[in-house]
C-alpha cells in the first residue's frame, strides 16, 4: 500500500529524459592538473602528486630562480587508434609550478615515483633547520 501517490505527467518526464541522458560530447578536459599534497617537516618539505599510469621518464622537474616546475607532456596514444564506446580518462599534458622558500637548498632536491605517486623532497638549508635549545647556566 502506497501512502504517496506519484503523479506522472508527460511534460516533466520529457524534460527529465532530455537532461538526464548521457551525452557523448568530445569536450577537452581542462581540469587535468594532478592533485598535490604538501607537507612541511623540520628538515624538509614533501610534495606528493597523484599521477597514476605514468612512467618515471614522463616527468620533467626543474628548479630555477626559486620556482619548482613539474611537467609532463604525455598524451594517450591508444585513443587515436581505438574507438571507445565511452572515453572518460586520458593522459593529458600538465605543468605545475610552485614557489619554493629561500630556506630550501635547491642543489639537494630529490624525486621518486612509485605506485602512481610522484614524491619530491625539498631539504632545508642547514641555517634553516631548527636549533636545539641552549641551556644557560647561572654563575
CATH of 32-126, one of 1.20.1600.10, 2.60.40.790, 2.60.120.10, 3.40.50.300: 2.60.40.790
Spell out the residues 6+ positions from residue 15 whose beta carbon is closer than 8 angstroms to its own.
Answer: none
Average pLDDT, the chain: 79
Task: Delimit the domains of the chain by residue range.
Answer: 32-126
Q: Which three three-digit cell numbers place residue 33?
A: 592538473
**What was the pLDDT predicted at 2?**
46
**How high is the pLDDT of residue 92?**
76
- In sequence order, which ranges of 22-118 are alpha helices (DSSP H)? 78-81
Average pLDDT rounded to a whole number, residues 97-124: 93
The pTM score is 0.65
CA distance 81 to 118: 29
Q: For 24-73, how does the pLDDT look when each residue is reduced to its tens digit (9 = 90+)?
A: 555 444 457 889 999 999 899 999 999 988 889 999 999 999 999 999 98
Amino acid at each position: 500500500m502506497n501512502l504517496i501517490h506519484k503523479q506522472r505527467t508527460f511534460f516533466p518526464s520529457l524534460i527529465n529524459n532530455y537532461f538526464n541522458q548521457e551525452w557523448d560530447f568530445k569536450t577537452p578536459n581542462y581540469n587535468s592538473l594532478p592533485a598535490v599534497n604538501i607537507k612541511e617537516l623540520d628538515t624538509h618539505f614533501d610534495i606528493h602528486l597523484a599521477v597514476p599510469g605514468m612512467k618515471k621518464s614522463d616527468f620533467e622537474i626543474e628548479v630555477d630562480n626559486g620556482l619548482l616546475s613539474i611537467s609532463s607532456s604525455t598524451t594517450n596514444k591508444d585513443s587515436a587508434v581505438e574507438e571507445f564506446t565511452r572515453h572518460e580518462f586520458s593522459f593529458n599534458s600538465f605543468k605545475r609550478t610552485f614557489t619554493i622558500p629561500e630556506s630550501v637548498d635547491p642543489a639537494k632536491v630529490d624525486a621518486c615515483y612509485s605506485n602512481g605517486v610522484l614524491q619530491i623532497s625539498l631539504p632545508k638549508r642547514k641555517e634553516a633547520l631548527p636549533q636545539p635549545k641552549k641551556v644557560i647556566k647561572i654563575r
